């Protein structure tokens, strides 16, 4: 099956970009992920770092990765139901192991579960436009559910939004202790995450996957339009996205990240803006692909994209070792945590480039493919796919 080098590059950017926010999830309490005032008030440094990351990265790279996952489902769908069911079920299993024994911020389980539900729609929806419209509708349903949650929620902040000293001490304890105590807490997080997936986030994730599949089927994501089209699209999409997002960021800051508004209602501008900004980033890459493709860094990031699963889990291994085994949890603020990111990116890049010099696939990609073949019970082509 043909590889799309620009898509490998964009996927690599998404995997690297996800770490900009995940580093907070690894090194600070769960409450800090969305709330820079998790200690009662936010320092100037934390507030500005949060604002910049919220505008540029928060949800954007996850959204981009979900769009590309949908595009990948479209490319894989011709292999048939046994292959797709086996592949996605194995992803669910990998995500379950990751979420239970390594890190509670896993996304693989969600992607596998939603992928199992929606991949058949890729064959049944009659046109690219209908697929795109269905995806947009599902995404908007997820936004609507978030509004309902905000309307029925208590205005008083929960302990997961403003943790007390005992909550922080216990979270530090089980994360650095590991073992059965950590597994029990991750199981609680997993249960809550599955409930959120079923009630709200799953709608958005399904919508993004369908949009990604529609854009792949139309040729937009595979680079079949002119570079001028992609450059104009990037300017328009990014402008629309940031016009929606920036007022939401400013409003959260002005109200001091009050629980009910920040946790629910003011998530809506971010959610609405993220598909525009994410597609704007993709359009930038496609619009300047001739220039990007000629650089050495482009090849390195393509390698990261070809080994997306291995690199995503490698980030978990590196960060859990750093922050939980070397007692660095709760030792840095948002701004200083960003200093870790380029070093981890470099490890991702070097690992990917060196590995792919000797092997056609990443280690976990190879294992995933091998197990999929065994589970599907049939021989499949040996060429590399996404």
Q: Is the model's pLDDT at 172 over the cut of 90?
A: yes
Confidence of residue 377 (pLDDT cuts 50, 70, 90): confident
Average pLDDT over residues 130-147: 96
pLDDT in tens, 214-267: 999 999 999 999 999 999 999 999 999 999 999 999 999 999 999 999 999 999
Q: How far apart are CA 26 and CA 210, in angstroms?
A: 30
Query: Would the CA dihedral through 291, 292, 297, 299 be positive or negative?
Result: negative
Q: What is the dihedral of CA 215, 220, 223, 225, to 10 degrees?
A: 170
Burial class (CB in 10 A: 0-12, 13-18, 19+), 183: middle
Q: How far apart are CA 11 and CA 245, in angstroms?
A: 23
Angle value at C-alpha 249, between 258 and 33, nearest 5 degrees: 65
Q: Is the model's pLDDT at 288 over the cut of 60?
A: yes
Q: Is the model's pLDDT at 125 over the cut of 90?
A: no
The pLDDT assigned to 379 comes to: 47
The pLDDT assigned to 121 comes to: 86
pLDDT in tens, 4-42: 999 999 999 999 999 999 999 999 999 999 999 999 999
Residue 3 phi/psi, 5-degree rounding, is -95, 140
């979420």: which residue's tokens?
A: 99
The pLDDT assigned to 76 comes to: 93
What DSSP designation does 125 have?
S
Q: How far apart are CA 320 and CA 164, in angstroms?
A: 23
Query: Would the CA dihedral through 178, 180, 185, 187 be positive or negative?
Result: positive
The pLDDT assigned to 386 comes to: 39
In 259-377, which ranges are continuous DSSP H helix? 259-260, 267-287, 289-293, 296-306, 308-320, 334-337, 340-358, 363-376
8 Å CB contact between 150 and 264: yes
What DSSP designation does 386 have?
-
Q: How far apart are CA 81 and CA 122, in angstroms?
A: 12
Q: Is the model's pLDDT at 289 over the cut of 70?
A: yes
Closest-CA residue to 299 (of 2, 5, 3): 5
Helix (H) or strand (E) holding 193: helix 179-196
Closest-CA residue to 217 (of 382, 73, 58): 73
8 Å CB contact between 122 and 216: no
Q: How far apart are CA 251 and CA 291, in angstroms?
A: 38
Q: What is the mean pLDDT of the chain?
A: 94
What DSSP designation does 158 have?
P
Q: Is the model's pLDDT at 381 over the cut of 60?
A: no
With a CB cutoff of 8 Å and minimum separation 6, the contacts of 100 are 183, 186, 187, 190
8 Å CB contact between 121 and 231: no
Average pLDDT over residues 59-88: 95
Who has greater pLDDT, 383 or 328? 328
8 Å CB contact between 206 and 118: yes
With a CB cutoff of 8 Å and minimum separation 6, the contacts of 167 are 29, 159
The 3-state DSSP composition of the chain as helix, strand, coil percent (nearest 5) reads 75, 0, 25
The pLDDT assigned to 2 comes to: 58
Percent of the residues in the chain that have a pLDDT greater than 70, as a whole number: 97
């Amino acid at each position: 099956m043909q590889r799309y080098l620009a898509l490998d590059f964009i996927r690599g950017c998404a995997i690297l970009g996800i770490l900009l926010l995940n580093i907070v999830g690894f090194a600070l309490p769960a409450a800090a992920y969305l709330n820079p005032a998790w200690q009662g008030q936010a320092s100037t440094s934390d507030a500005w770092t949060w604002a910049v990351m919220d505008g540029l990265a928060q949800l954007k790279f996850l959204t981009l990765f979900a769009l590309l996952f949908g595009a990948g489902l479209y490319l894989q769908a011709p292999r048939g139901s046994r292959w797709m069911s086996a592949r996605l079920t194995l992803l669910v299993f990998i995500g379950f192991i990751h979420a239970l024994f390594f890190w509670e911020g896993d996304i693989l389980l969600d992607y596998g579960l939603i992928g199992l539900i929606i991949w058949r729609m890729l064959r049944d929806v009659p046109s690219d436009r209908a697929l795109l419209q269905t995806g947009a509708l599902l995404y908007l349903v997820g936004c609507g559910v978030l509004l309902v949650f905000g309307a029925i929620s208590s205005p008083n902040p929960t302990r997961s939004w403003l943790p007390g000293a005992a909550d922080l001490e216990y979270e530090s304890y089980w994360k650095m202790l590991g073992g059965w105590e950590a597994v029990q807490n991750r199981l609680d997080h997993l249960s809550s995450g599955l409930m959120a997936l079923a009630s709200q986030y799953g709608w958005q994730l399904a919508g993004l996957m369908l949009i990604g599949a529609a854009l792949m089927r139309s040729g937009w994501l595979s680079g079949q339009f002119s570079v001028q089209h992609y450059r104009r699209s990037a300017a328009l999409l990014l402008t629309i996205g940031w016009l929606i997002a920036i007022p939401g960021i400013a409003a959260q800051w002005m109200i001091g990240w009050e629980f009910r508004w920040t946790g629910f209602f003011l998530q809506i501008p971010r959610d609405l803006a993220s598909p525009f900004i994410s597609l704007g980033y993709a359009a930038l890459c496609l619009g300047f692909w001739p220039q990007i493709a000629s650089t050495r860094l482009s090849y390195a990031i393509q390698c990261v994209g070809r080994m997306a699963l291995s690199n995503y889990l490698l980030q978990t291994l590196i960060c859990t070792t750093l922050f939980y085994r070397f007692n660095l949890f709760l030792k840095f603020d948002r701004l200083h945590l960003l200093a870790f990111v380029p070093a981890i990116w470099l490890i991702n890049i070097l690992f990917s480039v060196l590995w792919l010099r000797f092997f056609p696939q990443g280690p976990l990609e190879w294992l995933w493919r091998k197990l999929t073949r065994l589970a599907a019970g049939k021989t499949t082509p040996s060429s590399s796919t996404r």
